Structure 1
């Protein structure tokens, strides 16, 4: 009998995923390579094979499901002006939320483009949630930076093309934390002390688990059970009591409003939030 799948997720995502797992018998488990994170996907037991995309006439609407504030409205308007289709953008707050919605829709979500994190692409493709890309229809692929193509999660770029990238770090309120924080070990110490109850972390399992690995100088790609078990114990017993919220876009409200004293954030989002504060 397989061991139970345990997921550290916010309440809304957890309820959604649990509902789909229970109601339709969806199954789930993949050990995400980048960060040795337990990734929980949902797919029919008889997952359909991914189909190939084919060229055709443009429709009157292009629907995109992506992270919040990841697209410049001017670019979207310019696309519509040049090519015709109106661009409709919906936002999600986590990869789990994205996957849960696609699974529930059973191929009827209406989205033309979705923007998951890289390590989720292969499990999504294997479970029939993505179509293959026809690179012959994307001539600008030839101009892509070589550092961002043929990545380990999609070596042949069969299902994805890199749209954005950044680093994961943290920001903190100097009126609350007067000392300088320069490492993830410092982040953990501050979360458990000055910023206890006022610490926000990303609603993303990879960098969330990264807090443990980085602060303990452990390879983020480890698959050793002892490290994974220690990470789980750390997150649930030592870090969770000090967390006030999970938010993958703290630059929208948390950072500008200073509603948390210590915030894990993606670099671009942190910059946006600090500029708005």
Structure 2
């Protein structure tokens, strides 16, 4: 745990500064607007659920629509019939195309999180019972360590421990002394370690910041973790979004942030979803300075 303190401390310090596929089954008369018995069938886009989600998740839908592969998946979802609960039919949704590009996949992840865990999950017409984010709701054995920080990791983050690849990435980063090209080389050399470290932080910071000295967030980040933990976990659970975050952690100008956006364009949807949530929840309060 102590071996990650330096890099984690640097990160936290920096934070302070869709047509349906051909295989989709349609009703018996092959008319997606039919209930198979000659009657009209409500499609997700026209349903009370779909309309509520369109409002609640407008930002995520806009980001998805900007990515062609995600837009295809969204078009497919909108064309699905609704189920008995009023939400999109699960079989139809499961048959929708899955984006292959990082940017489109990230945009769809952000939208799905909004629909199932975020503001969209509060739409009563959808009949959704919100479930916890998988990175934040890991199934772990009771802790055994006497150290509070380690015990927290054992209790809440047992599935995302910082193991060999993660440690290799951290060791590499510790030798960079803040040199950006060196840090980029570390990310390129330790691809698996980057992903593992991001997932580790995705769980560790929301759950264990009160127990680990290396995980003390700024007031703005604290507010973001309280109100937007799912979006934070989505971002840090994605290697590109974590790297975009790391890139921006040393920025103090708009040009620098824009350069980071250009460097990691595939992270824009996930990063944007988190920043949108933080802006809605924390601007005018702990985040008045605009820095995380």
Q: TM-score range by the shorter chain?
A: under 0.3
Q: Which of the pair is proportionally richer in strand?
A: 1
With normalisation by structure 2, the TM-score equals 0.26
With normalisation by structure 1, the TM-score equals 0.27
Structure number with bigger Rg: 2
